[in-house]
Amino acid sequence: MGLSRDPLLPAFPGWNSDGSVAAAPPSAYARPQLALDMLATCVADIQGLWAVMFVYCTQSAATGGLGMSTSVAGSIMLVQGAISTCFGPLVGKLYDIFPGSTRAIFTISPLAVILIAWSMLAYGNSKEFAVTALLLQGFAGAGYPPGMCSIGVKMVGSKNFPQRASRNETWKHIGAIITAGILPMLLVSEGSWHGFFTGIIYISVASFIVLSLIWNSDLQFSANETAEDLGEENHLLSEARATSVVVPFREVLFRREVFLFVLSYSMFHFANAAMLPQLGYKLDVIYLRTNATLAGLALDGTNGIAMATIISQVVMVPVAGACGFLACKSWAGSKRLLLVALLCIFLRGAIFATSEDAVCLLLAEILDGVGAGIGGVASILLMSDLTEGTGQFGSMQGMVGFCLGLGSAGSHGVAGLLTDTRGIGFSMWFLSASAALAALLILPVPDRRIEDIQKAGTSPRKDAYTNPAYDA
């Protein structure tokens, strides 16, 4: 790379054996990593708006909503999720086919959000046009998960990817606090959602500015990552990474452990996705009966969703930040973390089904913070490890988005129908049972990262870069 070490100096892991300086990822406080933090914050609205949009659909026209029933709104969320499901792996495949166009492909997501919000401002009084705009959000949701993962792994390499994935999720949750929590309370006035959609446009435009701070030269590290750079203790993963053979996508997908993970993570989102929108519906029902308030705000569906989002997202920030560390510990690991997340979802559904106290329902969102905070990071890492060396990184991270879309689509549709026909208590118990089924499905899935740690007796992901000249 143009520099070489003095042969009289002792060798250390920052140098290759031929004397050249080994490629190293940017430090935690370098411009590329900080820019990616800001990008994760700006595009959080792409996935964080689903529950808010459900409230928008179900609120009466007199209060600025579309006046739909829960079953119709759930059906719209189902189709929206189906679009995200179908396009997630396809967008991920684009990142694999065109690795030099990562930034250009990523712009699909914030551009779609801008179009959605502008449509709501211009044609929000047309229910048909509003529904069409909502369905476009599925395209935006499809591009986000594989895009952030692709940029992250190209910036820091697979060895440091757990920490980068953890940071992505942490800043995504911070962004969701703003877009799905604070903005609805501040900008959704009586009879008008215009302020909210205007705020979303500004945030999405900011994502383009932040993306321009990440240059193509910042996304070349993983291409230069060699087996020697990764360390002898990680020889199994090194051999997998060194191969140039691209395993067919279908063959990877139908590996037993990958297929079970896809089913389990889909059930994860099936159990979790509809709980927050259904909470908003239940708070609306409780408010009509009790006129409950909290901190001077009416505890109805809109304010309740915003408060619940803030509670859960605030909890998700430290939880997601810790997951990258815990995933590399032999006593924890990604699979065990996911089992903890599923337990939280089960308990949350049980509380939603049995409690009629608005404050208790809001506090149950702490469980959502733990469960979703773990799931967002652990799922990415587990899929990455299960498909190591296949040449299908982007595609299989798109499958993580596929699981999210598939589970969320079914969750909104089924929960909305069950709430209309059998009541919200039955609906919540059904979702809790789905979380239990997801836990059973993931039990046989191996945690490859932990297996490698146990074989080597050390962490295969420990930082091996100690060259101070390449710490920025």
pLDDT score, position 367: 94
Other beta carbons less than 10 A from residue 421's beta carbon: 10
pLDDT score, position 225: 53
How far is residue 228's CA from residue 383's CA, in Å, rounded to a whole number? 24
Does any domain span residue 1? no
Does any domain span residue 60? yes
Does any domain span residue 180? yes
Q: What domain range is 105 assigned to? A: 31-215+248-452
pLDDT score, position 460: 45
| Domain count within the chain | 1
How far is residue 67's CA from residue 38's CA, in Å, rounded to a whole number? 36
Residue type present at position 447 = D
Q: Which of 460, 400, 459 is nearest to 89 (CA)?
A: 400
Does any domain span residue 16? no
Q: Which of 218, 179, 136, 180 is nearest to 42 (CA)?
A: 179
pLDDT in tens, the chain (472 residues): 344 433 433 333 343 444 444 456 778 778 888 999 999 888 865 555 666 777 778 777 777 778 888 778 877 777 776 777 778 788 888 888 887 788 888 887 788 888 888 887 887 667 777 777 777 777 777 777 788 888 888 888 777 788 888 888 888 878 877 777 777 766 665 556 777 788 888 888 888 888 888 887 777 765 555 444 444 434 444 444 444 467 888 888 888 999 999 999 999 989 998 898 888 888 888 888 887 777 677 777 777 877 888 888 889 889 988 888 888 888 888 899 999 999 999 999 999 999 888 889 999 999 999 998 899 889 888 888 888 778 787 888 788 777 877 787 788 788 888 988 888 899 999 999 999 999 999 999 998 878 877 776 654 444 333 333 333 3
What CATH number is given to the structural domain containing 368?
A: 1.20.1250.20
First-residue to last-residue Cα distance in the chain = 16
Q: What's CA 364's distance to the chain center, in Å?
A: 21
Residue type present at position 284 = D
Does pTM top 0.75 for this prediction?
no
Contacts of 336 (CB under 8 A, 6+ apart): 447
Does any domain span residue 87? yes
Does any domain span residue 234? no
Structure tokens at 90: 């396809």
Does any domain span residue 99? yes
Structure tokens at 193: 């959602």
